[in-house]
Amino acid sequence: MRSWWSSVQTDPDGNRRTITYTAEGPALVEGPVELVTADGRTIRSDRCVVALCLCRRSSIYPLCDTSHRKRRRPTEQ
């Protein structure tokens, strides 16, 4: 039985892309990348690292604009 991991596409050198989750910020994806959004838009980036927003506060979602750094509302008790 093949695992799902064996179906992950690789770059021409056979290396896996690395996605690094940060503690309270974006996921850092090794570029270049092509993102396809839920509404069908395609976003291409040739940068060596692309920051993907995980907090959904970014004005340029799905890319991070560092809005995650802004102060968070204190939780209600």
Residues of this chain that bind ligand FES (CB under 6 A): 25-26, 53-55, 57-58, 64-68
Least distance from C-beta 28 to ligand FES, angstroms? Answer: 10
- The C-alpha atoms of residue 30 and residue 25 are separated, in whole angstroms, by 16
**Distance of alpha carbon 14 from the chain centroid:** 21
Closer residue to ligand FES (CB): 26 or 29: 26
Q: Which is nearer to ligand FES, 29 or 58 (CB)?
A: 58
Q: In this complex, which beta carbon is closest to ligand FES, that of residue 7 or of residue 18? A: 18
Cβ neighbours, 10 Å, residue 17: 12
Tokens linked to 17:
């892309």
